Amino acid sequence: MTIETVETHKAHGGVQGVYRHRSAATGGTMTFAVFMPPQAAAGPVPVVTYLSGLTCTHANVMDKGEYRKAAAALGLAVVCPDTSPRGEGVANDDAYDLGQGAGFYVDATEAPWAPHFNMWTYVTAELPALVAAQFAVDPARQGITGHSMGGHGALTVALRHPGRYRSVSAFAPIVAPMQVPWGQKAFPAYLGADPARWRGHDAVALIEDGARLPEILVDQGTADSFLDGQLKPDLLQAACDKAGIALTLRLQDGYDHSYHFISSFMADHLAWHAARLKG
């Protein structure tokens, strides 16, 4: 597995890099960002993967997420993949919530998406293996987080890989995509018409079907324009309460869906992960 270095910058004593590689999962070139803290010079460090939301690339959180200072202080590597395959020959849609920039972290089975839209395999298998081979990270100490569509991805990835991710959090996640317009549009397009095939990519449905995590941290802004129509954190709270999952759901007064919100609580989330990944 080889990677091309696109750019690197020293930051807070560590290195922020952007890298490119040929992906077997997506059948094209993928770009991702990695921040390595200064502690990595002494040996492998814990790693947190951040999954971005609709329309984003690795660059949104890299430029606006304000994670490097906290990650350097805590000794955490932070990996930021793209949200979908891109480029010539990759299917797309004119809408922002389907196609390039909107992979929903699933492996598509339907035309025209199936040849390239295999983001589930990419973020759960191919990219972690690549990062472990190329960077001084400890695969036994992994956490995962994300925003909106990426929060949906973080929750479902962790729920379906019990024990692999020792910490999980999310910013304004889509917790029940089967029950909201974003998921009701994307899931039939990518996975077909049978709702039974969607349940493996819906955090609330996964919990209802028996998936478990010890604990989850979620931050949600009360001024988020998508709160009632698309996000519905109360559904996650109810599912976790019934399942006995310790959900810390923090409703942040006046915050919206933007990176102003994410950056305000990024250090809190990284501290949450560090506390669970240090041992």
Q: What is the mean pLDDT of each run of 10 residues along the chain (279 residues)?
A: 95 98 98 98 98 98 98 98 97 98 98 98 98 98 98 98 96 98 98 98 98 98 98 98 98 98 98 94
What's the rounded Cα separation, in Å, for the pair 153 and 205? 14
What's the rounded Cα separation, in Å, for the pair 206 and 188? 18
Q: Give one word for 192, left, alpha or beta, with left for phi > 0 and alpha for psi -120 to 50.
A: left
**Which segments of 82-164 are extended strands (E)?**
137-146
Q: Which residues pair with 40 in a beta bridge?
A: none
What's the rounded Cα separation, in Å, for the pair 236 and 203? 8
Task: Return the structure tokens found at 279.
Answer: 């041992």
Hey, which residues are catalytic here? 148, 224, 257
Other CB atoms within a 10 A radius of the CB of residue 216 amount to 25
For 33, the 3-state DSSP assignment is: strand
Helix (H) or strand (E) holding 155: helix 149-160
For position 279, what pLDDT does the model report? 67
Distances (CA, A) of 126 to 22, 62, 75, 81, 101: 11, 21, 24, 11, 19
Q: Alpha helices, DSSP H only, in 6-148?
A: 58-64, 68-74, 119-121, 127-134
**Which segments of 52-183 are extended strands (E)?**
77-81, 137-146, 165-171
For position 1, what pLDDT does the model report? 76
Domains and CATH numbers, the chain: 4-277 (3.40.50.1820)
Find, among 40, 267, 270, the residue nearest to 167 by Cα. Answer: 270
Phi, psi of 80 (to 5 degrees): -130, 95
